[in-house]
Structure 1
């Protein structure tokens, strides 16, 4: 499980780095949509993690 979490963290870091390079070149509407989708993805990941941790207890 630790290996999976490390992979997910590495993917998140790479994704943030790529978005930091690409995001300034996009228009404001696209930037706003990407941020909104990013927040949704983070919330879904947190909820899933909480649910899995609840099952493990």
Structure 2
């Protein structure tokens, strides 16, 4: 289970890094859309993480 969480964390960090590098080159509307999508994905990831922890108890 540790490898899974490590992989997910690494993927999230790499994705955020690439997003920060690409985002300044986009127009404002696209940036806002990406910010909304990021918030939704982070919320879903947090919920999934909590569900996995509760399942493991």
* TM-score, normalised with respect to structure 2: 0.91
The corresponding residue for 2:8 is 8
Q: Which runs of 5+ in 2 are unaligned?
A: none
Q: How does 1:17-32 map to 2 (within 5 A)?
A: 17-32=17-32
Distance across 2 between alignment mates of 1:30 and 1:44? 21
Distance across 2 between alignment mates of 1:14 and 1:52? 22
Task: Give RMSD over aligned pairs.
Answer: 0.8
Distance across 2 between alignment mates of 1:55 and 1:23? 36
The corresponding residue for 1:46 is 46
Q: Which runs of 5+ in 1 are unaligned?
A: none
Superimposed CA distance per residue, residues 1-57 of structure 1 (whole angstroms, 9 cap, x where no aligned partner) = 100111111111111111111000000000000010000000011111111211222
